[in-house]
Chains A and B, each alone.
Chain A
């Protein structure tokens, strides 16, 4: 028992540290549940329309790949929760990757676990405390999501089953991250492993849902659909989540016992004894530091984009009925169906690539807090170069990822090369503006970069909830992503492109004015 001493204070401490982040995430996720539940009936007032909409979704392999199929086309709940059952469950699992990693490997890498371990805290306590905290959060968000659906007017059993599926996905993500955090001594590598595992599970389900159904059963995201929450729930599926999560946490515990504090199971390899001659200034340093993660991002994005580009042509072939066509148009906008889907994917990717840019800006802040920036600035490196280095990688890296996405989609789609590349690049100013705002927060003070994530969450929530809640246009317009035209469906719009770019420049100028005159550290 003594190896578990201290779990309670550690778990409480974790909750205390996370309280703002947890409140914002919960509010956003549960808010989306409520709004989607409440709004769908007014969107499709008659049962016939609901059935048509559901059939339209099932007829499109690309949408099934993205969201999963609708098993019962007569269920209003299942239609209302289309996006939430699988795709938003992926977003939900990101929360648990952040939570568990933050209280295990990040603490270990920073040496705080050692400090805490020197007190009356057992060896297993930090991992157990992180798992307990995250599991309670998963159950809590699941319960609130179910209640939100219920409040939005959906049936009781379905709402609770849906909420349980979110809780289940949360628990599995906790287990996956707990294992990932035992593997490498680097918190960044652990995050990449956990995120990669979530991505693979999502793709497995996409493959299963569009080809062999049994493959979907290999992924917890497939279980969320197969639970059939809205018509005769298979309650036993919930056991699968719990068992998988328990096994993963058990494995993590065993792995933890087999390794020393601060080390990982993947042995650290020695690196080069000499620095490359090109590694000689702040920009080269920033590129070198972020190159491995950018390479992983590029491969993942290229793979995803080619797959989705290849699936896209399926829509047009399968959708010949007018109602279905009308439905798809209503789902995504106007114009050619395939292109609507490509535009939707690009707008999702724009948000995802903003995460990359925010990570880079966040590193600028932590480099400064840890004292690395101080060492760089003590050499013949100017402040402007140090500041620019982070921005070059943040803005340049996200632009590069957009290029990879555009080219990947075009290769998979097999046509419209220029149009798709252009559509991808048109997203850049929105991504840049959010990254620039994060840089402004960083310029304000080194610990400010978290503001970028808060803003991104806010813009995302606005984008998802704004229209459903009937918020005024100017509130919706606060999110830069709403101003990007849905290319290639809509034509390129020079005005928002120019305005967003100019705003980015303005925000960056402000950031620099502040950064050059403030204390470093």
Chain B
């Protein structure tokens, strides 16, 4: 199937600052795509380019196969967007704002799940925009986004102001929308959230894509942490793919590449294994790895 979002070689400069520097991003239909990066990595700039708000300097970006700069309105009919920092109209109530955003997307608020979502997010729709806290402003935008059935949801750090209970509601909403076949681009630096929700992940840093793939694929690229209790000392030194080896009496700890695993296992088995634990890297570790400027000394 075609990619819903297809970005390659995207460059965007602000004066001398190169915010995007050859960024690549592919989001296929029906998936939840985690878009990870630290603050200032270019996540919001990418999203704003995808919405046609910014004019990029080089590279191509398409959403639904269309150019966001030229076909913004046609693309926007099919998506809903929640910005990272939601600004509301000071003298419009939350309810008015939800309805306004829905109507401007061509949806009928009365036919939407607006009432149900207001309840689930525990949002008072009669307060004026200026009176909402950051979390509640975010809820206003989330209710407007989730109330109808857009084909694509673009969510820029959508839970940064929500408490854990509301994060749970948010996760359920994302699951409901993917269940009906929607595509979700979820930018975040909250790794656990992406780990729970995302099918595939793109990690960016300083405007470039560092890693992209399913969580499983990314794990393949990374070392498992092995801890084994042995009957007899094993000759593990110099085995290919084995790093950070520490032997303390009969306990061995090391990390191992995917390619080194068979060799390590047979060496351990030969020595007689009493106990073995293998821990896959968390996204946290992948993330830290991707951002380590210097390559790790092995």
Contacts and interface: CB of A to CB of B under 8 A. Distances in A.
A186 B100 contact: no
B239 interface: no
A378 B99 contact: no
Given A279-B96, A280-B104, A375-B101, A519 B54 contact: yes
B55 interface: yes
B127 A270 contact: yes
B87 A273 contact: no
Contacts of B127: 268, 270-271
A268 B76 contact: no
Nearest to B141: A375
B53 A520 contact: yes
Contacts of A19: none
B93 A517 contact: no
A93 to B, nearest CB: 25
Contacts of A268: 127-128, 130-131
A381 B86 CA distance: 18
Given A275-B96, A280-B99, A375-B101, 4 more contacts: A273-B126, A371-B87, A375-B81, A380-B106
A377 interface: yes
Contact residue range for chain A?
A: 35 or more
Interface string B48-82: 10011111000000000000000011001101010
Interface in A10-32: none
A280 B141 contact: no
A382 B72 contact: yes
B181 interface: no
A289 B51 contact: no
Nearest to A289: B89
Interface string B237-269: 000000000000000000000000000000000
Contacts of A376: 104
Interface residues of B, number: 43
Contact of A272 (B77, B93, B101): B93
B93 A271 contact: yes
Given A271-B93, A375-B141, A517 B125 contact: no
Contact of A370 (B55, B87, B104, B106): B87
B30 interface: no
A280 B98 CA distance: 11
Given A271-B126, A273-B126, A380-B106, A109 B91 contact: no
- Chain A CB count within 10 A is highest, among B90, B124, B125, for B90
A292 B89 CA distance: 14
B99 A379 contact: no
Nearest to A383: B72
Interface of B: 48, 51-55, 72-73, 76-77, 79, 81, 83, 85-93, 95-101, 103-106, 109, 124-128, 130-131, 141, 154
A372 B91 contact: no
A81 interface: no
Nearest to B50: A378
Contacts of B128: 268, 270-271
Contacts of A206: none
Closest 5 CB pairs of A and B: A275-B99, A280-B103, A379-B104, A270-B126, A271-B93
A276 B97 CA distance: 10
Contacts of B98: 275
20 contacts: A185-B130, A186-B130, A188-B90, A188-B91, A270-B126, A271-B96, A275-B95, A275-B109, A279-B99, A281-B104, A289-B89, A289-B91, A370-B87, A372-B88, A375-B86, A375-B101, A378-B81, A378-B154, A379-B101, A380-B104
Given A275-B99, A279-B99, A519-B53, A379 B87 contact: no
A212 to B, nearest CB: 40
A278 to B, nearest CB: 9
B91 A186 contact: yes
A378 B88 contact: no
A111 to B, nearest CB: 9
Interface in A481-520: 517-520
A467 interface: no
Interface string A62-75: 00000000000000
A377 B83 contact: no
B249 to A, nearest CB: 53
A379 B74 CA distance: 10
Interface string A376-418: 1111111100000000000000000000000000000000000
A109 B91 CA distance: 12
A374 B73 contact: no
Nearest to A376: B104
Given A380-B106, A519-B53, A520-B54, A372 B87 contact: yes
Interface string A360-378: 0000000000111011111
A274 interface: yes
Contacts of A282: 104
A374 B104 contact: no
A109 B76 contact: no
B152 to A, nearest CB: 11
Contacts of B48: 374, 520-521
A285 interface: yes
Contacts of B99: 274-275, 279-280
Contacts of B124: 270
Interface in A246-273: 268, 270-273
Contacts of B86: 371, 375
A288 interface: yes
A281 B105 CA distance: 9
B225 to A, nearest CB: 41
Given A272-B126, A375-B141, A519-B55, A185 B131 contact: yes
Nearest to B114: A274
Contacts of A273: 93, 95, 125-126
